[in-house]
Amino acid sequence: MALRSVLLAVISAIVSIPTANAASTPASSNNIILRNLAVPRFFGAAANTTFLYHDLNYTEVISTQFSIFTPENEMKWEDIEPEPNSFDFGPADEIVRFAESVNAKVRGHNFMWGSQLPPWVNDTLTATELDRALQNHITKVMEHYRGKLYAIDVVNEMISDNTPNETFKDNIWTEKFGEEAVPKALTYARAVDSQPKLYINDYSIEGINSKSDTLYSVLQGFIADGVPIDAVGFQCHFYLGQVPDTLQQNLQRFADLGLDVAITELDINLQGPGNATSLEQQAKDYWTVVNACVQTKRCVSVTVWGVSDDHSWIPGGNPLPWNAEKQPKPAFYAIADAFEGKPEP
């Protein structure tokens, strides 16, 4: 706690911590503050307590540039409830407190996912036992963070990669609950708290394709049946030069269902150290994604999955807007241009 306070004092002396609508002029990045340029949208990052307060340059960037945070791992089931009904809120609380200290919002992440489950959540549980565990998990986490979450990824990566032959992935949730799994999680979440935006978050749904078509049909059914759903998260983990040309059109069709849409886990994988040509293409790709959000009225946020290349979940991929030295790359300036409505770099 003392280290956190000291580092915040140091950072505050270096930069003026901005509010979502206030101007700020840190020495780095040519005085460009992306969170301010993004207004009325949010510009976010996946925050990680491994680096927060332990890497001063990381902490300076993350304290200055972002207006919404997603805990990278700290709210996943294996971390927050490692044993039945035994919750460890410490790391997630640290991110929530940090977000509050820089006047930023928090996106929770996540409840229903087939990965990063604790060992005790397994096939030996009966459907009744798993149902009880799911409801208890959602209830305890949402009660703990009541009034502190702007949104939460209730459902993560549940649409099958084998569409149109299969709607949902084959995992513990669908094995026990079938097609009622996703509505069950959303219903439990809404019953606890009516305020946070409830998201379904997924990958490979960014363009118009079989998987996004399947999700679109699922959501049409949910809306017709009164299943609580507020928004869709599009992860946007892309390789260089592979942003789908139907991204904006796809965002708009989900928005036309009456849902918010958000870019939730953006990175552009260079698959190596990069050079002038690849960094230029990476910048264009970032501009394309952010511009698609800007052009979609109900696109509420753009979140990059991490901050700097050295702390990415993709080793050696150099996929983020800041390099390992926490210096802005061409992608950083392209994001700024897109938020300001400037043409592609």
The catalytic residues are: 157, 265
Residue 299 in contact with residue 262, Cβ under 8 Å? yes
Name the token pair of 49.
């307590």
Residue 299, classed as helix, strand or coil, is strand
C-alpha distance from residue 331 to each of 75, 102, 162, 341 (Å): 28, 24, 33, 15
In sequence order, the β-bridge partners of residue 260 are 231
DSSP state of 267: E
C-alpha distance from residue 170 to each of 45, 113, 119, 295 (Å): 30, 11, 18, 35
Residue 302 in contact with residue 266, Cβ under 8 Å? yes
Rounded distance between C-alpha atoms, residue 291 and residue 306, angstroms: 20
User: To 5 degrees, how large is the angle CA 53–CA 149–CA 37?
Assistant: 70
Rounded distance between C-alpha atoms, residue 188 and residue 24, angstroms: 41
Rounded distance between C-alpha atoms, residue 282 and residue 323, angstroms: 13
Residue 267 in contact with residue 305, Cβ under 8 Å? yes
Residue 26 in contact with residue 18, Cβ under 8 Å? no
